[in-house]
Amino acid sequence: TRSGRVVKMTAASARAISSTQVIASLKSVVKELVDNSIDAGAGAIDVVFVDAGVTSVTVTDNGSGIALDDPGVREALVVTRATSKAATASAFNAVVNRHAAPDASASAGGEVD
């Protein structure tokens, strides 16, 4: 079962999970965040765009994903190779197989339109 704690994956697991996918559009970023909410069992998901997403996009849900009271969670969220879904490639593959694209291994990079 998932604890909701964010853990850093081993380098070997991260390499096995990594893809060449880079999220390059706002639509893709929002889709990945909503997919994460669904994975966390959310029954309600709110998406708020400020200035059509130029200033910010906030996705809030009532799922059991990342525990906000987890010490250091803010720092872990910006660390590459950090996830609350799985810490090994085999465990992660079970999560990825539910989606068309690997969400936790994708990163928002480059310019977002």
Q: Establish if 2 belongs to a structural domain.
A: no
Report the domain count for the chain. Answer: 1
- Assign 106 a pLDDT band (cuts: 50, 70, 90): very low
Which residue range is the domain that position 77 belongs to? 7-108
The answer to whether position 48 is within a domain reads: yes
Give tens-digit pLDDT for 51-92: 988 888 888 899 887 766 766 666 666 555 566 665 555 555
Domain membership of residue 36 (yes or no) is yes
pTM: 0.53
pLDDT digits (tens, 9 = 90+) for 4-15: 666 676 777 666
pLDDT surpassing 50 at residue 105: no
Name residue, tokens 């990079």: 109
Residue 1 is assigned to a structural domain of this protein: no
